[in-house]
């Protein structure tokens, strides 16, 4: 686990503490761990997959389902290789790279501040760098039985290119008219030179992207609209206001075809970093795919009969980065009045992997408690735990972000009530057994 500069960590805990919680509790851990892992590839365990699925479901709900001007797509990961020529990736999608002749390590030339000392040179700790070369970040594979140049294909470097190549098909089948959008969630792959900061920069990751097609005269309006929508989404996730900011790109940072772009950034232990980009991509994508495929991707306005190539406003969020930001945002090591420390994940209930834990006070109460858990499980991701003292069981739920624990005690059989404990304030309330689903409904289903 590397941190750019631990001294600058604004949090009163170390990133390694969170990384170890993630592995220990089954959120995220290195892939192929028994073989030593592969740098830049991660597996999401039972809790991690729930968290990520909740995040994706919320994005899909807000961006696709709640709008009648956005359609969904799930395209293949491997696109026709011409796609990446048209998009400019084959030619331009590269990072500057240097090698150290002494220690044989490879670095991004624009991130040499993080290179650290060279372990292989005598008399100096400085690296012996080669000249800067460009390194294309697309991961290559071969299709079919041969491995010659004609069989080369790429794992997609971003999910949006199929949205452009499928533009006409989706538009015609859904009978949408500009302005409208196409959204997709899926894996993307980049052969990053230095994957780092846990899942933040990985070689395989998930993106949730929306490409919104508009008339050229409406660029400013739709860019402002989508930037506002996306800010709202992140605020809704419960990020602390002081840890979230929008950073407009400078003119130098803008792609040559772009009119405007802004990053939504989160304050990680390793500094302010992008979790989402909102981009005005102009008509670059549809024009290039028209040129490379020979297929017309322009539209005609039915009223004015104007013929034009739509412009695109894009919102592109990393699911893994947002999941990591949510874990960072929620992680706390809290000193309790009795001197103990409780580790807490203050996750928004809509994102929490487990919504409710059912905890009988004694194993003798297992039968009615399991009955309650079975009933709740039909609606919510529910965890049942009857072992260990109740305080320890609460702590185990706190550190994975479970918003509610329901305790079935010795009175429950006679007064028909259970104790519901809330994670953040640790308040406890007696609730009638039959009232538990409604109690949870009021508190858990506010978002989705
Ligand atoms: N279609 C536009 C596009 O792909 P990007 O800024 O390269 O734009 C968008 O990527 C988002 O994808 C980023 O904001 C980030 O959240 C996520 N992302 C990009 N590279 C990543 C990586 N190596 N590891 C994890 N997430 C990444």
pLDDT in tens, 421-436: 999 999 999 999 999 9
Segment 261-277, tens digit of pLDDT: 999 999 999 999 999 99
**Percent residues over pLDDT 70 in the chain:** 98
Mutation to probe ligand 1, out of 204, 321, 323 (largest number of atoms < 8 A from CB): 321
CA angle 320, 272, 447 (to 5 degrees): 50
CA of 94 relative to ligand 1 center, distance in Å: 14
Q: What element of type H or E holds 48? A: helix 46-60
pLDDT at 4 over 80: no
For ligand 1, the distance from its centroid to the CA atom of residue 433, given in whole angstroms, is 46
Render pLDDT for 143-193 as a digit per residue (tens, 0 to 9): 998 888 889 999 999 999 999 999 999 999 999 999 999 999 999 999 999
Task: Report the residue among 40, 138, 205, 266 best suited for mutation to probe ligand 1: largest number of ligand atoms under 8 A from its CB.
Answer: 205
Beta bridge partners of 278: 262, 315
Distance CA 422, CA 404 (A): 5
Quick one: pLDDT at residue 256? 77
Answer yes or no: are the C-beta atoms of 118 and 106 closer than 8 Å.
no
| Nearest residue by C-alpha to atom 15 in ligand 1 | 318
- Rounded to two decimals, the pTM is 0.94
CA 194 to chain centre: 19
Q: In this structure, are residues 420 and 380 in contact, taking their beta carbons and an 8 Å threshold?
A: no
Q: Quote the DSSP letter at residue 125.
A: -
Mean pLDDT over 198-216 rounds to 98
Q: Which of 55, 92, 155, 158 to mutate to test the pocket of ligand 1 (most atoms within 8 A of CB)?
A: 158
Ligand 1 pocket test target in 159, 205, 318, 322 with most atoms within 8 Å of CB: 318
Residue 203 alpha carbon to ligand 1 centre in Å: 11
Nearest CA owner, ligand 1 atom 27: 318
Distance CA 282, CA 279 (A): 9
For ligand 1, atom 14, name the residue with the nearest CA.
Answer: 276
The C-alpha atoms of residue 59 and residue 53 are separated, in whole angstroms, by: 10
- Local confidence band at 7 (pLDDT 50, 70, 90 cut-offs): low
| Closest atom, ligand 1, to C-alpha of 205 | 25
Confidence of residue 359 (pLDDT cuts 50, 70, 90): very high
What atom of ligand 1 comes closest to residue 279's alpha carbon? 2
Averaged over 72-100, what is the pLDDT? 94
| Ramachandran category for residue 164: left, alpha or beta (phi over 0 → left; psi -120 to 50 → alpha) | alpha
55 close to 167: Cβ distance less than 8 angstroms: no
> Which ligand 1 atom is at minimum distance from the Cα of 318?
16
Residue 420: band (very low, low, confident or very high) from pLDDT cuts 50, 70, 90: very high
185 CA → ligand 1 middle, Å: 12
Query: Closest Cα to atom 17, ligand 1: which residue?
Result: 318
DSSP annotation of 373: H
CA of 144 to the centre of ligand 1 (A): 29
Q: Predicted confidence band at 1 (pLDDT cuts at 50, 70, 90)?
A: very low
Q: Are 260 and 271 in contact (CB under 8 A)?
A: no
CA 161 / ligand 1 centre spacing (Å)? 14
Question: What CA–CA distance (Å, rounded) separates 15 from 147?
Answer: 42
Beta partners for 205?
Answer: 188
Q: Is the pLDDT of residue 336 over 80?
A: yes
Closest Cα to atom 20, ligand 1: which residue?
201
User: Using CA positions, which residue lies closest to atom 19 of ligand 1?
Assistant: 318
- CA-closest residue to ligand 1 atom 6: 277
Tens of pLDDT, residues 107-123: 989 888 888 899 998 88
Using a 6 Å CB cutoff, which residues line ligand 1?
Answer: 158, 160, 190, 192, 201-202, 205, 207, 209, 274-277, 314, 316-318, 320-321
Pocket test for ligand 1, best of 263, 316, 323 (most atoms within 8 A of CB): 316
158 alpha carbon – ligand 1 mean position (Å): 8
DSSP type of residue 434: G
Query: What pairs with residue 29 in β-bridges?
Result: 43
Q: Which pLDDT does position 3 carry in this prediction?
A: 43
Going by their DSSP bridges, the two strands 70-73 and 180-189 should be labelled as parallel
Residue 201 CA, ligand 1 centroid: distance in Å: 9
How far is residue 387 from each of residues 370, 381, 390, measured CA to CA in Å?
13, 19, 8
391 against 447, higher pLDDT: 391
Q: Is the pLDDT of residue 246 over 50?
A: yes
Confidence bin at 319 (pLDDT 50/70/90): very high
Span from the CA of 82 to the centroid of ligand 1 (angstroms): 22
């Amino acid at each position: 686990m590397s941190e750019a500069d631990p001294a600058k960590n604004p949090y009163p805990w170390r990133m390694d503490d969170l990384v170890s919680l993630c592995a220990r509790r089954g959120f995220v851990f290195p892939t192929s761990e028994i073989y030593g892992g592969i740098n830049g590839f991660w597996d999401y365990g039972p809790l991690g997959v729930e968290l990520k699925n909740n995040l994706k479901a919320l994005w899909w709900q807000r961006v696709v389902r709640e709008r009648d001007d956005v359609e969904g797509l799930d395209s293949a990961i491997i696109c026709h290789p011409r796609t990446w020529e048209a998009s400019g990736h084959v030619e331009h999608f590269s990072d500057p790279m240097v090698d150290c002749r002494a220690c044989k390590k490879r670095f991004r030339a624009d991130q040499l501040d993080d290179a650290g000392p060279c372990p292989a040179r005598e008399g100096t700790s400085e690296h012996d760098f080669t000249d800067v070369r460009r390194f294309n970040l697309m991961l290559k594979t071969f299709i079919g039985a041969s491995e010659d140049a004609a069989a080369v294909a790429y794992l997609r470097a971003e999910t949006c290119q199929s949205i452009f190549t499928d533009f006409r098909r989706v538009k015609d089948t859904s009978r949408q008219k500009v302005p409208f959008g196409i959204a997709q969630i899926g894996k993307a792959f980049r052969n990053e030179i230095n994957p780092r900061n846990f899942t933040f920069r990985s070689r395989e990751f998930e993106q949730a992207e929306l490409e919104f097609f508009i008339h050229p005269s409406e660029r400013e309006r739709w860019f402002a609209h989508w930037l506002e929508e996306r800010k709202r989404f992140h605020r809704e996730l419960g990020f602390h206001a002081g840890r979230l900011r929008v950073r407009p790109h400078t003119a130098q940072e803008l792609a040559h075809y772009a009119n405007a772009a802004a990053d939504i950034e989160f304050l990680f232990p390793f500094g302010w970093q992008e979790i989402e980009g909102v981009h005005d991509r102009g008509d670059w994508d549809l024009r290039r795919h028209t040129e490379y495929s020979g297929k017309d991707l322009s539209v005609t306005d039915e009223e004015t009969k104007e013929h034009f190539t739509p412009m695109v406003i894009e919102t592109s969020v990393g699911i893994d980065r947002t999941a990591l930001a949510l874990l960072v945002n929620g992680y706390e090591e809290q000193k309790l009045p009795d001197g103990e420390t409780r580790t807490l994940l203050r996750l928004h209930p809509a994102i929490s992997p487990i919504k409710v834990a059912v905890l009988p006070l004694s194993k003798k109460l297992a039968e009615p408690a399991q009955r309650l858990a079975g009933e709740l499980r039909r609606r919510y991701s529910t965890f049942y735990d009857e072992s260990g003292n109740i305080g320890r069981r609460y702590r185990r739920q706190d550190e994975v972000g479970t918003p509610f624990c329901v305790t079935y005690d010795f009175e429950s059989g006679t007064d028909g009530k259970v104790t519901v404990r809330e994670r953040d304030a640790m308040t406890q309330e007696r609730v009638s057994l039959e009232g538990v689903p409604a109690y949870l409904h009021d508190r858990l289903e506010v978002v989705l």
